[in-house]
């Protein structure tokens, strides 16, 4: 009964599997697999029925069901052969139809005109008999050849073999690694079926107690379906050497020591009865020696196979995070390349940056590559639209997304002699591409590589952005080629703002770095003559790393504004970018404000700014209006925790925002400057221009602390001068 249940279970699982892949996948190449899976499920059901009927000794019904099962098996074999012959483009034509008609017709003739019976017994398993063939010649050693022998040759051996041979030819001529690995899985599906069929037949005929085991031949067909599904859905190659190394590690980590311990136990077993104490001592000592041998062997093999260690993600992240951007540009670039070549074991690294508008030029090449790539191509447009930042050459033929640009994308990889690319972009603006050559160990770029590049994309982004600012001198406003990210550069970037030019307001600001390099910034962005975005931000960290993040964010905010008109969505995008693209541990505390001069209203979102003051002329009082705020970069989605607030602006009102460098700086006695002193300064200096008010706060802080600044400081002051009624 168990054989009936197992076959029914196989059929149910396959039918469910067919429905699942049909719903989840709409790719055309899945359709032939669905047909094969349905044939296998029907074969399993007929097999279960024939086994069940065998309990009632009804040979006629058993033979009818057996005939139908064998016919389904023949149709399965024909479809499998066609699947292999047409792979990977499954398009029917006259030849494929003729192929089906000929071989299915042949099966019909054999099974309906030259077939005797199919019975299943517990003593003999499956027994199939066919009519003898009248051959003009006799074969020595063969008593009688039946039509069922011809059936076996055609549908179990010949047709699958034709399919496998065609796949071997395609595998040998294919250039894409993933395509060859897909083909390998398809070939293995036939090998598995042959192996299981042969094993079950041998066991069934050699051991009478296991005679019924040949009714489980459907298990081989189920495994075949799973292998075919793996082949169809495989979109990224795997490193065969890494797989073998992993198996080796498993052996010497677990099996090696266990086997030696077992052998030692067997050798010492005679001592257990006569000398139990010595047995325990010798065994424990032996196990200790085995553990020491295993430890040193594992250590030795790790050293020999370090290039094949696929679990490099943490190591790569640590090395990328340790890059010191205060070194010269040549040193930084060489460090980056060394890290990539040593950790990824790649043969080449090419970094192309947008040095002139809409063209990528070589900023670094480990092979002396000289090439210029236009950005206005279908390939780059498709990658942007599909939101693909990491692409492997092995993806091109297996991923349907690239079908429209297969030749162009292949040409891009060939031109750069690379196997992988990482797109560096700000929103929809591509500013660089990192090309990686083939792995020196001959391995393929795997799913693990893909996930690692995606997870560490922020580090690649920062590297590219750094190189863009180093290589493209016009961006950073300096004519010195060998520059560092100095205070002069930061100042030039800070001054790249849209000064608010509106008769209703007077705006002043100050942003000072405590140690020449810092992560604070102030920005004003013009939307229209009547609407401006105002940002004050403090990026976590110190020195060059904070400065790099600041430069990136300042640029990204403007990029995002070209993509969205929603104020809250802008902040959400900035938060998501910090979380996903900047190095881990990067956060932004600040304020985003939208000033609408037509409506005399300021909309603002507090993102962790310590203080936002408002002087209200009507009440002659300075109050805090910042409310609760959430620092950006802690979580992916801040849509539910950031709130847009608004305040009406009237003539004489003053808005002052500042970072914690002003509020928290301490005097020599350890007393913080505090909010009260800021409020007092606003009261005392409100008659001065906004620019003077910001500078007065800086001067008062220096006088209060009596020492150099220990933290960066930024202040924005906005004085509302005139209210023009519509």
* 8-21 tens-digit pLDDT: 999 999 999 988 88
Residue that is written with structure tokens 């090419």 in the block = 350
Are 494 and 707 spatial neighbours (Cβ–Cβ below 8 Å)? no
Band of pLDDT at residue 206, cut at 50, 70 and 90? confident
Indicate if the pLDDT at residue 710 is higher than 80. yes
Q: Which residues pair with 384 in a beta bridge?
A: none
Indicate if the pLDDT at residue 499 is higher than 90. no
pLDDT digits (tens, 9 = 90+) for 579-630: 877 777 889 999 999 999 999 999 999 999 999 999 999 889 999 998 888 8
Residue 608 backbone zone (phi > 0: left; psi -120 to 50: alpha; other: beta) = left
Band of pLDDT at residue 254, cut at 50, 70 and 90? low
Q: At what angle do helices 447-455 and 457-471 cross, to 10 degrees?
A: 60
Structure tokens at 506: 């007077």
Give the up-direction half-sphere exposure of residue 87: CA atoms within 13 A in the CB hemisphere.
32
Identify the pLDDT of residue 544.
67
SS3 per residue for 409-451:
HHHHHHHHCCCEEEEEEECCEEEEEEEECCECCCCCCCHHHHH
**What would the mean pLDDT of 545-573 be, rounded to a whole number?**
84
Indicate if the pLDDT at residue 484 is higher than 50. no
Band of pLDDT at residue 649, cut at 50, 70 and 90? very high
Degrees, nearest 5: CA angle 29-35-37? 105
Identify the pLDDT of residue 27.
59
Q: Which residues pair with 127 in a beta bridge?
A: 119
Identify the pLDDT of residue 475.
39
333 vs 476: which has the higher pLDDT: 333
Indicate if the pLDDT at residue 651 is higher than 50. yes
Indicate if the pLDDT at residue 637 is higher than 60. yes
**What would the mean pLDDT of 232-241 be, rounded to a whole number?**
65
Q: CA 479: distance to chain centroid?
A: 39
Q: Characterize 388-405 residue by residue with b for buried, 16 or more Cβ atoms within 10 angstroms of its Cβ, and e for exposed.
A: ebbbbbbbbbbbeebeeb
Q: How many CB atoms lie within 10 A of CB 300?
A: 11
Band of pLDDT at residue 54, cut at 50, 70 and 90? confident
How does DSSP assign 491-527, residue by residue? HHHHT-S-----TTEEEEEEEE-TTS--SEEEEEEEE
Rg of the chain in Å (alpha carbons) = 37
Indicate if the pLDDT at residue 471 is higher than 60. no
Identify the pLDDT of residue 250.
59
Q: How far apart are the first and last CA of the chain?
A: 89
Architecture of the domain made up of 498-720: 4-Layer Sandwich (3.60)
In terms of DSSP H, where are the helices of 456-486?
457-471, 473-476
Are 584 and 524 spatial neighbours (Cβ–Cβ below 8 Å)? no
Domain at 2-233, CATH from 3.40.1000, 3.40.50, 1.20.1070, 2.40.128:
1.20.1070
Are 211 and 121 spatial neighbours (Cβ–Cβ below 8 Å)? yes
pLDDT digits (tens, 9 = 90+) for 329-349: 788 889 999 999 988 889 999
Identify the pLDDT of residue 225.
92
Indicate if the pLDDT at residue 550 is higher than 70. yes
Indicate if the pLDDT at residue 175 is higher than 70. no
Q: Which residues pair with 647 in a beta bridge?
A: 602
Band of pLDDT at residue 470, cut at 50, 70 and 90? low
Identify the pLDDT of residue 172.
81
For the domain covering 313-476, report its CATH number.
3.30.450.40
Most confident of 382-386, 487-491, 655-659, 708-712: 655-659
**What would the mean pLDDT of 363-377 be, rounded to a whole number?**
92
Are 567 and 596 spatial neighbours (Cβ–Cβ below 8 Å)? no
Band of pLDDT at residue 543, cut at 50, 70 and 90? low
pLDDT digits (tens, 9 = 90+) for 406-439: 899 999 999 999 999 999 987 678 889 999 998 8
Per cent of the chain over pLDDT 90 is: 42
Identify the pLDDT of residue 308.
45
Indicate if the pLDDT at residue 360 is higher than 90. yes
pLDDT digits (tens, 9 = 90+) for 296-336: 777 776 655 544 445 688 888 888 878 877 677 788 889 99
State the average pLDDT for the chain: 84
pLDDT digits (tens, 9 = 90+) for 98-129: 999 999 999 999 999 988 888 887 778 788 88
Per cent of the chain over pLDDT 70 is: 86
Residue that is written with structure tokens 């009440």 in the block = 619
Which residues does 148 contact at the CB level (< 8 Å), separation at least 6?
110, 114, 115, 128, 129, 130
724 vs 502: which has the higher pLDDT: 502
Q: How many CB atoms lie within 10 A of CB 16?
A: 11
Sheet holding 611-616, edge to edge: 505-512, 713-720, 654-658, 611-616, 621-624
Identify the pLDDT of residue 478.
39
User: Among residues 127, 122, 130, 148, which one has the least CA distance to residue 52?
Assistant: 122
41 vs 210: which has the higher pLDDT: 41
Q: Which residues pair with 615 in a beta bridge?
A: 622, 654
Indicate if the pLDDT at residue 143 is higher than 70. no
Degrees, nearest 5: CA angle 679-663-534? 80
């Amino acid at each position: 009964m168990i054989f009936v249940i197992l076959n029914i279970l196989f059929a149910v699982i396959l039918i469910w599997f067919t429905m699942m892949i049909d719903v989840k996948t709409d790719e055309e190449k899945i359709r032939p697999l669905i047909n094969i899976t349905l044939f296998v499920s029907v074969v399993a059901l007929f097999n279960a029925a024939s086994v069940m009927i065998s309990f009632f000794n009804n040979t006629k019904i058993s033979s009818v069901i057996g005939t139908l099962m064998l016919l389904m098996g023949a149709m399965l074999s024909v479809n499998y052969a066609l699947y292999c012959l047409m792979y990977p483009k499954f398009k029917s034509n006259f030849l494929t139809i003729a192929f089906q008609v000929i071989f299915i017709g042949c099966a019909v003739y054999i099974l309906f005109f030259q077939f005797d019976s199919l019975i299943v017994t517990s003593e003999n398993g499956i027994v199939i008999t066919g009519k003898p063939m009248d051959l003009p010649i006799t074969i020595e050693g063969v008593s009688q050849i039946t039509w069922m022998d011809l059936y076996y040759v055609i549908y179990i051996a010949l047709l699958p073999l034709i399919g496998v041979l065609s796949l071997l030819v395609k595998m040998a001529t294919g250039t894409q690694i993933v395509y060859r690995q897909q083909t390998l899985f398809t070939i293995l599906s036939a090998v598995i079926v042959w192996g299981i069929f042969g094993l079950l037949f041998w066991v069934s005929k050699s051991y009478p107690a296991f005679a019924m085991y040949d009714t489980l031949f459907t298990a081989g067909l189920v495994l075949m379906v799973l292998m075919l599904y793996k082949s169809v859905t495989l979109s990224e190659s795997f490193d065969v050497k890494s797989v073998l190394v992993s198996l080796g590690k498993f052996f010497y980590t677990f099996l090696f020591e266990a086997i030696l311990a077992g052998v030692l136990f067997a050798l010492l077993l005679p001592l257990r009865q006569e000398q139990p104490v010595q047995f325990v001592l010798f065994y424990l000592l032996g196990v200790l020696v085995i553990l020491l041998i295993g430890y040193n062997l594992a250590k030795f093999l790790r050293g020999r196979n370090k290039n094949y260690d696929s679990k490099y993600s943490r190591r790569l992240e640590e090395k990328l995070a340790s890059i010191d951007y205060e070194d010269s540009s040549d040193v930084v670039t060489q460090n980056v390349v060394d890290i990539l070549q040593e950790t990824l074991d790649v043969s080449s690294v090419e970094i192309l940056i947008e040095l002139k508008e809409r063209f990528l030029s070589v900023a670094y090449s480990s092979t002396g590559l000289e090439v210029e790539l236009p950005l206005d191509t279908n390939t780059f447009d498709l990658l942007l639209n599909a939101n693909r930042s990491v692409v492997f050459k092995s993806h091109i033929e297996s991923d349907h997304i690239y079908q429209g640009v297969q030749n162009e994308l292949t040409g891009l990889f060939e031109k750069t002699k690379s196997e992988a690319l990482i797109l560096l972009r700000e929103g929809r603006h591509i500013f660089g591409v990192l090309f990686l050559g083939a792995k020196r160990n001959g391995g393929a770029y795997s799913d693990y590589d893909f996930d690692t590049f995606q997870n560490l994309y922020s580090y690649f982004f920062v590297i590219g952005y750094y190189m863009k600012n180093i290589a493209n001198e016009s961006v950073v406003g300096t004519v010195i080629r060998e520059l560092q990210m100095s205070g002069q550069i930061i100042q030039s970037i800070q001054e790249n703002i849209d000064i608010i030019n509106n008769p209703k307001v007077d705006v002043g600001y100050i942003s000072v770095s405590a140690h020449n390099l810092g992560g604070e910034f102030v920005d004003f962005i013009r939307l229209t003559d009547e609407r401006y975005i105002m940002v004050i931000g403090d990026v976590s960290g110190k020195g060059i790393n904070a400065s790099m993040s600041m430069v990136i964010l300042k640029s990204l905010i403007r990029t995002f504004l070209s993509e969205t008109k929603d104020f809250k969505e802008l902040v959400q995008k900035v938060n998501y970018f910090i979380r996903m693209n900047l190095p881990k541990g990067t956060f932004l505390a600040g304020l985003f404000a939208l000033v609408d001069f037509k409506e005399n209203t300021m909309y603002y979102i507090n993102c962790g700014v310590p203080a936002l003051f408002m002087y209200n002329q009507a009440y002659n009082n300075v109050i805090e209006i910042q409310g609760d705020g959430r620092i950006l970069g802690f979580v992916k989605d801040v849509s539910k925790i950031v709130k847009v607030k608004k305040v009406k602006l009237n003539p004489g009102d003053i808005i002052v925002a500042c970072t914690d460098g002003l509020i928290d700086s301490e005097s020599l006695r350890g007393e913080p400057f505090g909010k009260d002193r800021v409020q007092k300064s606003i009261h005392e200096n409100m008659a001065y221009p906004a620019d003077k008010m910001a500078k007065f706060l800086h001067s008062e802080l220096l006088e209060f602390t009596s020492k150099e600044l220990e933290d960066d400081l930024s202040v924005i002051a906005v004085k509302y001068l005139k209210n023009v009624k519509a």
